[in-house]
Structure 1
Amino acid sequence: MSGPLTFLVASPHLHGEVFGGTVILLLEHDEKGAMGLIVNAPTPQPVSELMAGAEGQDTPAWLGGPVDPTLGWCLYPDALELDGEISLVPGLNVSSSLDVLRAVMESGQTYMLVLGYAGWNAGQLAGEARAGAWVWVEQDTPELLWDIPAAGRWSEALRRLGVIPSTIMPGGAQA
């Protein structure tokens, strides 16, 4: 993958248990649909409680979305040159390989184990954006993930656009 990272930032008017206040790292978006990972929803369970052989891994697991929560994704900064790794931008890699996850844990680097994903059918995400549900934020670097605590990612993503959440009107832009 090349080009900037795209984050979908929930509009302040998007309410709901799953997507209200979320920041989603968009991994795919084409004519067939879209998929991404919520990156600001840590779960109360540490990785060590969810995986056999992960003793001492006290970092929280993350809720990536409502689709297939048994599928895990690993986000991490330093590539290990293993099969199954995808480099998104320098400083951010992703893999759904259990072998890569274990190698990342053994390497001692920062990582996020993200469970599930958010998905949209063809045209669905564009329709939601037109309705004002999402604000798109593009970044060339991944510091929003690594340098900003989860609780502040939503407001920081909007701040980077120069947007004050209370000024976003419901309904989105219509031309």
Structure 2
Amino acid sequence: MSGPLTFLVASPHLQGSLFEGAVVLLLEHDVQGAMGLIVNLPTGQSVSELLSDLPGQEETTWLGGPVDPALGWCLYPHAVGLEGEVKLCEELHVTSSLEVLQAVARSGQRYMLLLGYCGWGSGQLTEEAREGSWVWVEQDSPELLWDVDAAERWDEALRRLGVTPGTIMPGGAQA
């Protein structure tokens, strides 16, 4: 898998839920459903606090979504050459392999450890987008992850579309 990255940006009207203000990196979307990782919701816990076999890893962990929070996902720029790595685009790989996560941490490169993921059933994400819950942002590079502070990712993603949050109408586009 390699190509433009798709970020789902929560509509300003999606309030009162885990997804309020969320930016989700979409990993998969087909007729069977979709899955992605919230990339702007820190847990406040460091990697070392979560995984004692990775001492000195003070990077924060992130809540990737409400589904299976015991499952960890790692986003990182440079492949480490192990089984279980998926290249999403230049300078962005993903894995759910603990062995790969350990190699990434030892390599000294930046990374995000996310717990859980977001999942949608068949047609659900398309319907939510039609209702106006999500704005789709495609990017050729992962700079939104690596170069934008997590607290600013939602605003920045919308800015890249030329959208001011207050101008998004509830209800989405209807034809």
TM > 0.5 fold call: yes
CA positional deviation for 1:69: 0.1
Q: In the alignment, does 2:45 pair up with 1:38?
A: no
- Secondary structure of the 1:3 match is coil
Give the Cα–Cα distance (whole angstroms) in 2 for the partners of residues 5 and 57 of structure 1: 27
* Residue 103 of structure 2 is aligned to residue 100 of structure 1: no
Give the Å deviation of 1:114: 0.4
**Matched residue type, 1:51:** L
Any runs of at least 4 consecutive aligned residues in structure 1 with deviations exceeding 4 A, and if so which? none
TM-score norm. by structure 1 comes to: 0.99
Secondary structure of 2:156 counterpart = helix
Q: Is 1:169 the counterpart of 2:169 in the alignment?
A: yes
Deviation per CA, 1:147-172, whole angstroms, max 9, x where unpaired? Answer: 00000000000000000000000000
* Alignment of structure 1 residues 117-128 onto 2, 5 Å: 117-128=117-128
User: Take 1:139 and 1:164, find their aligned partners in 2: how far apart are those partners?
Assistant: 18
CA deviation after TM superposition for structure 1 residue 54, in Å: 1.4
User: SS at the partner of 2:58?
Assistant: coil
Q: Which residue of 2 aligns with 1:142?
A: 142
List aligned pairs for 1:11-160, cutoff 5 A.
11-160=11-160
State the identity %: 70
CA distance in 2, matches of 1:16, 1:44: 20
Q: Does the residue aligned with 1:61 lie in a helix, a strand or coil? A: strand
Query: Deviations 1:111-149 (Å, cap 9, x if unpaired)?
Result: 000000000000000000000000000000000000000
C-alpha displacement of 1:55: 1.2
Structure 1: segments with no counterpart, 5+ residues: none
CA–CA distance in 1 between the matches of 2:77 and 2:3? 17
Q: Which runs of 5+ in 2 are unaligned?
A: none
- Give the SS at the match of 1:102: helix
Q: Deviations over 1:75-109 (max 9, x none)?
A: 00011111100010000000000000000000011
RMSD: 0.6
> Quick one: which amino acid aligns to residue 128 of structure 2?
E
